Chains A and B, each alone.
Chain A
Amino acid sequence: KNEVEQSPQNLTAQEGEFITINCSYSVGISALHWLQQHPGGGIVSLFMLSSGKKKHGRLIATINIQEKHSSLHITASHPRDSAVYICAVRPNYGGSQGNLIFGKGTKLSVKP
């Protein structure tokens, strides 16, 4: 049961390129999170979305609730953006307020 699907699984880009990572989900949700996991293993929360669009520096996250789809964009990519990006959703069905369902992640490598 892949309730959260990410694409692509792997992505290689040249420095400066515009990057898009996609997340589709099949359940009703109350929120969607984008996480970043660096090669050292640590996980950082980038965005939490329930509607619309958020921007932080060169990162932009959008969500379309009706289409059950979210995108993470990186403008002017840099080698330090190399990481695994993980989409996670919080379902809104009863009794699951604390549960998170994760995508398998997108491994991004940005070459200088």
Chain B
Amino acid sequence: EAQVTQNPRYLITVTGKKLTVTCSQNMNHEYMSWYRQDPGLGLRQIYYSMNVEVTDKGDVPEGYKVSRKEKRNFPLILESPSPNQTSLYFCASSLSGAGGYTFGSGTRLTVV
């Protein structure tokens, strides 16, 4: 089944403790991206990647890192999480960025 898999689905962590949210797709898509969704603000793009080893900032990249060492994986790294990064996170992929998107199921992160 074609899908984007995010893990974990839920995560509660403490301020400053490094964490990684994984994202993997099995559709051989070149384009992958990360978003956060907050009440009243909607979805905002964090980072995106047009291909392996190519990443670029979205609208809200501060406090996040990404890497794209292989086509299928695009992890989101929070080196020192803070409470303002409490949010619902989505990963998505697309064949080229110019086509339709497939979204992961979301990761609800709480930083206390």
Which residues in A have some Cβ–Cβ distance to B below 8 Å? Answer: 30-31, 33, 35, 41-45, 48, 86, 88, 90, 97-105
Q: Which residues of B contact A86 (CB under 8 A)?
A: 42-43
- Chain B contact residues: helix, strand, loop or mixed: strand
A-B contact pairs, 9 of them (CB 8 A): A41-B105, A41-B108, A43-B103, A45-B102, A45-B103, A88-B43, A98-B48, A102-B35, A105-B42
B103, A104: Cβ atoms closer than 8 Å:
no
How far apart sit A101 and B35, CA to CA, in the bound complex (Å)? 11
Q: Which residues of A contact B101 (CB under 8 A)?
A: 33, 35, 45
Q: Which residue of B lies closest to A95 (CB)?
A: B56
A104, B97: Cβ atoms closer than 8 Å:
no
How far apart sit A44 and B40, CA to CA, in the bound complex (Å)? 20
A104, B90: Cβ atoms closer than 8 Å:
no
Task: Give me 19 other A-B pairs in contact (C-beta within 8 A), A31-B98, A97-B97 excluded.
Answer: A33-B100, A33-B101, A41-B105, A43-B106, A44-B103, A45-B101, A45-B102, A86-B42, A86-B43, A88-B43, A90-B98, A98-B33, A98-B97, A99-B45, A99-B58, A100-B43, A102-B35, A102-B43, A103-B42
Q: Determine how close the nearest CB of chain B comes to the CB of A51; give it in whole angstroms.
A: 14
For A104, give its contact among B31, B41, B98, B106 (CB under 8 Å): B41
Q: Determine how close the nearest CB of chain A comes to the CB of B74; give it in whole angstroms.
A: 12
